Structure formats: structure tokens, C-alpha cells
Structure 1
């Protein structure tokens, strides 16, 4: 039989621990952020920096931070990068276990502080489905009587052993913007890494693969035509908080997103769900 229990990290953060015949997982209420997911008999599917200290008020440097209700900088001075959801305390609304598959739903109640950044009457939830595959969804509903637009991403950190031996496939026919320039046409299906990579892909097919020395990770998306591919490489690694100088060697981010022309615009009463699925092939 599986179990779902609530525990407290030594630094005070509450989390949910999931243990079933199919997987082991851990999800923090701060940010509704999953930092551990390991299918039974296989290697972990998420990466976290050993430099992260799991402090209240900081998003974890790894796992899947939830970037909402904007990705990157908002354009408004003083607004937090990647939104405010990843540092807020979420509520665990429901737990459902069936055939060793666990569904958990977290919701975020906006505070007066949040409404300084986001005055719109919207609902946001994060749904986790945990089996031998990790599925994560951001669910938005517009309760306002006017259209509301937002950008968002599931900022997924993935373990890849050695960045020099990584190849990412599934990019044929797409375009990307990098360091504010572009769009550039993707020249072929494959991406290799020999420098800082920070690409926002558009017109992207729904499935990509990361070919690592120890196996292939499949990352797929629903209701998303855009994704972010990121590795900070050498110089930027020394400037990042809660990140070791050599961490770039063992991680890459491939993030399901709704950004740029793929932003979400919700009519009154409309709902949108962004989903990513991650598994070992």
C-alpha cells in the first residue's frame, strides 16, 4: 500500500512525502514545488543543487519551481522575477490514490501583497499525478468579467550526468529567441551544449528527449507551443544564488511554458491547463 504523509523539513518548510510501489516523491507547500521524484527501480528524474538550503522565502534551486503569473521579468519595476507563486505558501486541497497512482491538488489563495502584483480575480491550482511518470499541471480559471492574460512555466531541472555528453532532440522545425535576440530558425532536430544556453522555443513539437549517459528522459507538454531550454554554463554559474560553480555540468532545464506569442488569454469564466509529463524511456 502507498502512503501520503505531511512532514516538516529541518529548516521549517512543510512538505508532502509520497511513497508507493511506483515512485517516491516530495512536494513542498511553499511554491507547490516538487523537488524529488524517483520511479521505482530507476534513477531520480529531478535535480536539486547541493548548495540550496531550503529557506523560507526562497524558491528551491531545483525540482520544478512554478513560474506564475509571469515568466521572467514582468516589465514592472520591483516585481519579482518569474512571478510570486514560487515563494508563497500553497494549500493542499485533495489527495486521491487509485491503483498506486497518486493525485494531489494544491491551490494558492492570493494575499493583499499578491494583489499589488496581480489584481485580477483568477484561480490557480497545481495538480500532480505521480505514477512511474511525473505529470504536473498549472490550472488557471478567470473569474473576472474581462479577459486576463498571463505567462507561465514549469521550470523543470533535470539530471543529465555530464552536459558535454548530453544531446537534446525534438526541436526540428521550431524557432527560438536567445538573450533577447531572434527569432532564429532551429537548424536541425538536435541541440548540443558547449556554452551558455538560454533559449525560448516557439512552434515547438510537444515531445522532446534528453539523451544522457545513463538513459533517455522524455519531456512532453500539453496546451503549450513554447518551452525554455537553459544551462548557465561556467561564468553565470558563479553568479547564481544557491548554485555551485560546477552544477552546470549535471543539470539542464527543459520547461513547459506559455510565453511570448504562446501566452494565455482567458475570457471570463474560461479555464486553461498547462501540463508537463516526464519519464525515463
Structure 2
């Protein structure tokens, strides 16, 4: 929920969708549909909240997240693009970790809604400012389809005359009841451990969370299932266009080091990321496009 954020209505964009700002002028897209509540920020094209009516939130947002135009927001679904993690050495320093899309201002380009849900598109295009960080011409579109589940598709279009490669992620923070009551099914067995110099390791079939975790799993062939026992629900995550799945939880010490996360924030969040992390990234030829997506559905435990 984002009820702790005081917002001022600026403009109705459709029956369910409203542009609002906080007292500092930071812009939010608030969706109050008969089936769900959701919120985005134009900073980052960032989904920060989704909750079906009379259900628990599905997306985690830190209660101490910073809302300004220079910092990425802690929680939601940050868009890591056009690189994942630290930039390649071909780029000059300093450059933002996880790219510039999540700290850039996006535009709403399309809204369609009906009794079932809302489809809303956000766009970000290359500019003189972006070319100071990444030299390529592009059109980036986040297509969000919200109903009783979430579907996010990030479309990368090459609008230039030469090919480029990119990497990135839909860095989804899932809201869970408690890490001690969660396990994950369906992850590929092979993964690299970012906390142990990228060593290759094997994952158990049923992954539990009891320490800091930053694992890059090979792309899985089916759905992922997060068993959120404390909320008596299952969260199914289906990804496409990715080469890997990143599973992340900062645990006690790292959460305590974050100014924009409560010390106990690690207990109620778990990142399951549809990601492109391979060294070669994804090649997008001139005039072509590539789509990275994630779909998130919840069902009650039987």
C-alpha cells in the first residue's frame, strides 16, 4: 500500500487512472480499478504497487523509499537497462549501476481500460542526454497489462542505423509475509553466486531463504512458484526474453545499511528478476526489437 504517501490530484487520465504528485512535485500514476489498485512513477517508468481488492499487496515497496528525480526507488519493479549491474568497460565512468532507464523520466503514451483491467504504456526514447551515457538510438516501451494479475513487457526497439547489444532486468520485488515461511520451486539447478566471486554452484530443488542471497540462475524452462506460506498464497512467475533469473534478498546486515529500507524490510520482500545477464547480452539489429517480460499471478494455497 502507498497510503503513507501524501498525494495531490493533478489530472484524470481515464476513469481509473489519475496523475498525482507529492508535495515535492514527484509524479505518480495512480490506478483505482474495481478489481485492483496500482501505482507507477514517471521517474523510471516504475511499477511501485499492485494489490487486488481485498487481498495482500503483490509488489513490495519500502516504506522509506526515496522519491526524487536522481535516485532509483527501493521496491516495485525497477527497469534495469541498457546494462545489468556495473556498466561494461567500454563506457566512460562514472555511470549509474543497472543503467539509466530506472532514473529517467518516462511518458504515458497509451491507456485502455475495461471492466477486467487496465493496459497502460510508458515510453522512453534516446536523447542528447542519454547519448552521453550510451551512444545508441532507441525507443523503449513498457507495456503493462493489469487485471487480476500483472504482465509487464519491456520492448527495446533499435531506431538507429547500426546494431547494438543490451542487458538488463525487470527487477521485481515481490511482497511476502515473512522470509522464514517462503520457498521457491522451479529454479534452474545451475547458478552463479554473486556473493562468492561468481562461482558456479548447484541449487536445491526447493530453495529457502535464510541468509543474504544474490544468485543468477540459468533460464528456467517453466514457471517459477513462490510459496508465500505466511499469506497462504502461491505466486507464479513466468518470464520470457530473458537468459537468466536473479534471486535476491539483502538479509539483515545489508538491509540495515540501506537508508531507503527499514532494518526489517528484508523479511517481507523477495526479488525474482526476469534478467539478461549474459556477457554478450541481446543483439538488436537496426529497425528490429526485442521484448523482455514477466507475468506474476497469485492463487490461494489449498
RMSD: 1.8
Structure-2 residue corresponding to 1:183: 200
Structure-2 residue corresponding to 1:138: 154
C-alpha displacement at 1:190, in angstroms?
1.3
SS of 1:200's equivalent? strand
SS of 1:235's equivalent? helix
Cα distance per residue 1:47-92 (max 9 Å; x no partner):
1111113223222111111111111100343110011111111011
1:26 to 22, 34, 39: 39
C-alpha displacement at 1:99, in angstroms?
3.7
Segments of structure 1 that go 5 or more residues without pairing to the other structure are none
SS of 2:257's equivalent? coil
TM (normalized to structure 1)? 0.94
Structure-1 residue corresponding to 2:234: 216
Runs of 4+ in 1 over 6 A off after TM superposition: none
1:72 to 85, 88, 92: 85
C-alpha displacement at 1:270, in angstroms?
1.3
2:273 to 249, 255, 262: 255
Residue 35 (1) aligns with residue 48 (2)? yes
Cα distance per residue 1:78-120 (max 9 Å; x no partner):
1100111111110111111134321111111333222111111
State the distance in 2 between where 1:253 and 1:131 align: 21
- Asked whether the 8 Å contact 1:209–1:216 carries over to 2, the reply is yes
Structure-2 residue corresponding to 1:10: 23
- Asked whether the 8 Å contact 1:142–1:148 carries over to 2, the reply is yes
- Asked whether the 8 Å contact 1:163–1:249 carries over to 2, the reply is yes
Structure-2 residue corresponding to 1:202: 218
Segments of structure 2 that go 5 or more residues without pairing to the other structure are 1-13
Structure-2 residue corresponding to 1:274: 292
Residues 47-62 of structure 1 mapped to structure 2, 5 A cutoff: 47-62=60-75
SS of 1:248's equivalent? helix
State the distance in 2 between where 1:69 and 1:5 align: 29
SS of 1:238's equivalent? helix
SS of 2:266's equivalent? helix
C-alpha displacement at 1:2, in angstroms?
5.0
State the distance in 1 between where 2:84 and 2:162 align: 22
C-alpha displacement at 1:261, in angstroms?
5.2
C-alpha displacement at 1:258, in angstroms?
1.4
- Asked whether the 8 Å contact 1:36–1:44 carries over to 2, the reply is yes
C-alpha displacement at 1:263, in angstroms?
2.3
